[in-house]
Structure 1
Amino acid sequence: MASPSVVVLDYGSGNLRSAERAVERAGAAVTLTSDLDLAMDADGLVVPGVGAFAACMAGLRSVRGERAIGRRLAGGRPVLGICVGMQILFERGIEHGVETEGCGEWPGVVERLQAPIVPHMGWNTVEVPDGSRLFAGIEDERFYFVHSYGVRDWTLVTNDRTPDSHQPRVTWAETGAAPGEGDRFVAAVENGPLCATQFHPEKSGDAGAELLRNWVTSL
């Protein structure tokens, strides 16, 4: 059986090679490209991202990446966002008083974390919802974060008629050494074909590798 094909979208954001290698190790045949047709045709699309929200959105638009994301999701085709690649999936981001429009796949705003120490950097546990496929077998593991901004409020409303497979499953994490000491934020989302993580699975050791395998085997 052939390995699933995955495109890691090259839109000028950093950390592309490590994401490419990690997804390859998870069992996919990976292409690193900005080609829109290849991004559309692959079994899965990975949207990485590091740095500022506005810069990532500018880079994404320069290769029409937001169109590839939107068209894939309209056809029920899987997309995985990582770090700022997750943040840009939301409606907007606010950094240093500057508001930037995101892809708008989910409602919500990316804003500075309200924590005593920022950036939030290092290994942290996450609160995984029941029924998660992305975190199957690794619900109690730690993952590697490095970010100063995040989504602090999940606002997407669904109704009882939404199929269970498309009900969003939101994983949370919290800055600080103990519960209640820091700021709570969205650590990952599973929403039908669209998944995303605020942490870096490619830097999260065995747990991150298993998460990527879970995603690749779902393609």
Structure 2
Amino acid sequence: MAAVPTPALAKAPRIAVVDYCKGNLMSVERGLRRAGADAFVTADVREIARADAIVLPGVGAFADAAATMRETGQMAAVRERIAAGVPFLGICLGLHLMFDEGAEGTDFEDGKVDNAHGLAVLPGVALAMPRVDDQGKCYKVPHVGWNSVDYVSEAETPLLASIPSGEYFYFTHSFVAPDTPCTVATTTHSISFPSVVSYRDTAFGVQFHPEKSSDAGMILLENFVGIVQTAKGA
């Protein structure tokens, strides 16, 4: 794929990469800059509120990330921006945090699960990936490596423009998001799980890491930057 010229930063959309003490922030920032954005890492809710778009990356436990976001005010700030239609992209743990709750890193007392609360943009609970499928076949968890992303319908999603169904992306995770009507693509590893979700065509989540997914990942990031540019010009 030919490199896409990066526009002057003064004209590029400003995309906040949220720093909540989890994840590969610098590689996500670099990927977005290569895709044509004026991307910057920030933990400041005022910067998040002013940005043209928000990216929530992450590698870590749901409960720890959610606690940090609540304490810093990031949870409320990001939720408000998504509700306002500001473009949003959640990556890996960032996808899980779009849901009501997550079981990862939570405490168990009296046999009851005390799940952590997420952004609640989408309904459901992010749960651990099973190590055995319905036929009893064992799978290695965490799921690490390249796997295909298969569309659930022919409906076009702007985030996936010019990316064919069945394209391979790089995954590393042991928890998965629940299936909802917002699931637009799935991947299979012991179970079929959502690998791309789309909420109102402005808020998206991906289970894989586009910043580590070679040409296909760069196309996806360019698509997201294009979505932000369109929203900014509207």
Q: Which TM-score band (shorter chain)?
A: 0.7 to 0.9
Matched residue, 1:186: 194
Matched residue, 1:123: 146
- The CA distance in 2 between the partners of 1:169 and 1:212, in whole Å, is 19
1:174 aligns with 2:188: yes
Q: Give the superposition deviation at 1:95.
A: 3.0
Structure 1: state its 5+ residue gaps.
157-167, 176-181
1:80 aligns with 2:89: yes
Matched residue, 1:153: 179
Which digits, 9 at most, give the CA deviation of each residue in 1:103-158, with x for residues without a partner? 1110011111123221111001111232121111112320000000002432x5xx
1:126 aligned counterpart, secondary structure = strand
- The CA distance in 1 between the partners of 2:37 and 2:183, in whole Å, is 24
Kept after mapping to 2: 8 A contact 1:8/1:30: yes
Superposition map of 1:1-219 within 5 A: 2-95=11-104, 97=108, 98-115=114-131, 116-128=139-151, 129=153, 130-139=155-164, 140-154=166-180, 156=181, 168=182, 170-175=184-189, 182-192=190-200, 193-219=202-228
RMSD of the alignment, in Å?
A: 1.5
- The CA distance in 1 between the partners of 2:104 and 2:95, in whole Å, is 16
1:85 aligned counterpart, secondary structure = helix
Matched residue, 2:136: none
1:68 aligned counterpart, secondary structure = helix
Q: How many residues align?
A: 201
TM-score by length of 2: 0.81
Which digits, 9 at most, give the CA deviation of each residue in 1:154-193, with x for residues without a partner? 2x5xxxxxxxxxxx35211111xxxxxx211110111122
1:3 aligned counterpart, secondary structure = coil
- The CA distance in 1 between the partners of 2:117 and 2:80, in whole Å, is 18
